[in-house]
Structure 1
Amino acid sequence: MKFSKWTKKNYEADACCVAPKLLGQYLVHATDKAIYAARIVETEAYGGTYRRQVDDGAHSFRGITKRTAPMFEAGGITYVYLIYGMYHCMNIVTAPQGNAQAVLIRAVEPVQGIAAMIENRNAQSAAVNLTNGPGKLCRAMDITLKQNRIDLCGNELFIAHPLVPDTFSVVCTERINIEYAGMGKHFPWRFYMKDNPYVSK
């Protein structure tokens, strides 16, 4: 697979601007076991403001903690966290330092390292449920807390442009599974490829 890496400049904008631009890009994770690559098909932006309303759906809303500290760093690193004590979620930190913004990678379409992904998920095949959710894709691509705060301009974990971009329609809608948020649950910051089977349900 041929591609070119994103540079630091690609991560400098607000999360709500970076999130749709990540669609169609490749998430690549190089490990001793395999080189995993997957096409990003669904994202959600967190942090910042929408129509002058602060995002109360973001982990950073209540301030900096040991867990959320990566969100407050300059864009271009990862923010990986654990939910329910068993599922990892990977985020791309964006915006200048102190802005506390990130993009959650919600779903991907496997491209390379598929046999290893199937093994990691204890699955039988590369069916759509292999990577159609944030926890599923992290387990498939072996992304854990060890990958938290990694520099995305390095060689282990990064975002890459396809050399030949494809054409697709983008759907923009409200984010999901954040009923705890007052105003934020209504922000139209979920983006996904229309009709792509790997989009989460």
Structure 2
Amino acid sequence: MALSPDFFDRSTLTVARDLLGRHLVRIADDGTRLVGRIVETEAYTEGDRAFHGWGLYDEETGTLRREGRAADLFRAPGTAYIYLIYGMYWLLNVVTEPEGRGGGVLIRAVEPLEGAAHMQQRRAAAKRPVELTNGPGKLTQAFAVDDRLHAALLTEPPLFFTAGQPVDDAAVETSARIGLTKGVNRPWRFFIADHPYVSPGVPSDQRA
């Protein structure tokens, strides 16, 4: 059963942590079922300079400028926010917080559970199984996630989350997020410690 919008209608940091161990499910165009266990996430909120919607909400007036794709980060919780980086990689985020408040969680890495052979067909560059989905751009390639799913509700097919198996706090670590030049010191990256499918990137505060 898909996670309901109420799951995402919470603090972004709470959702980012709670998504670990949950399952990402994609029903491909040919009917193939692809499933991955989430092992790494990052949180972004409207008060964070690294947030794509930074500056769209005016606290003094309480108004939101609905300009560009980033305005979709203020939509209903559970909405997909998908964007392109380096002109070639789509990244999957899920909108959090009550509608009208900005927040989103980036799905950074998953462990394949079903459909690995089909993922390999889409990830010809992967030389080892771990390289199928150990990064945000890799997993969207493997799961056939692209701009067509932007602004779709991630609480129903073809792309959605299920309960999976929550992860104990003892198995969870945090760090600064990866690939940022702003907000580098926020420990808002959540991942399962020592999991082989966690992305190999270096936290931004270690690169600054």
Fold conserved between structures, TM > 0.5: yes
| 2:59 match | none
For the aligned residues, what is the CA RMSD?
1.6
Indicate whether 1:160 and 2:150 are aligned.
no
Which of 3, 6, 9 is matched with 1:9 structurally? Answer: 6
Indicate whether 1:60 and 2:53 are aligned.
yes
Deviations 1:21-66, CA, capped at 9 Å, x for gaps: 0000000011123211100000000014xxxxx2001101132432
* Gaps in structure 1 of 5+ consecutive residues: 49-53
The alignment's TM-score, normalised by the length of structure 2, stands at: 0.86
Counterpart-to-counterpart distance in 2, 1:112 and 1:27? 10
Indicate whether 1:35 and 2:33 are aligned.
yes
Counterpart-to-counterpart distance in 2, 1:10 and 1:166? 16
Which of 100, 110, 113 is matched with 1:111 structurally? Answer: 113
Q: Alpha-carbon deviation of 1:69?
A: 2.1
- Three-state SS of the structure 1 residue aligned to 2:76 is coil
Q: Is the 8 A contact 1:23 1:43 kept in 2?
A: yes
14-23 or 117-126, larger mean C-alpha shift: 117-126
| 1:51 match | none
Provide the identity percentage: 40
Q: Alpha-carbon deviation of 1:67?
A: 1.7
The alignment of Structure 1 onto Structure 2 pairs a total of residues equal to: 189
- Three-state SS of the structure 2 residue aligned to 1:20 is helix
- Three-state SS of the structure 2 residue aligned to 1:60 is coil
- Three-state SS of the structure 2 residue aligned to 1:185 is coil
Counterpart-to-counterpart distance in 2, 1:94 and 1:38? 20
Runs of 4+ residues over 6 Å off in structure 1: none
Deviations 1:116-167, CA, capped at 9 Å, x for gaps: 10000114665211111100000010000001111122221111012x5565
* Gaps in structure 2 of 5+ consecutive residues: 57-65, 201-208
- Three-state SS of the structure 2 residue aligned to 1:62 is coil
What letter matches 1:22 in structure 2?
L
Map residues 13-24 of structure 1 onto 2, 5 A cutoff.
Answer: 13-24=10-21
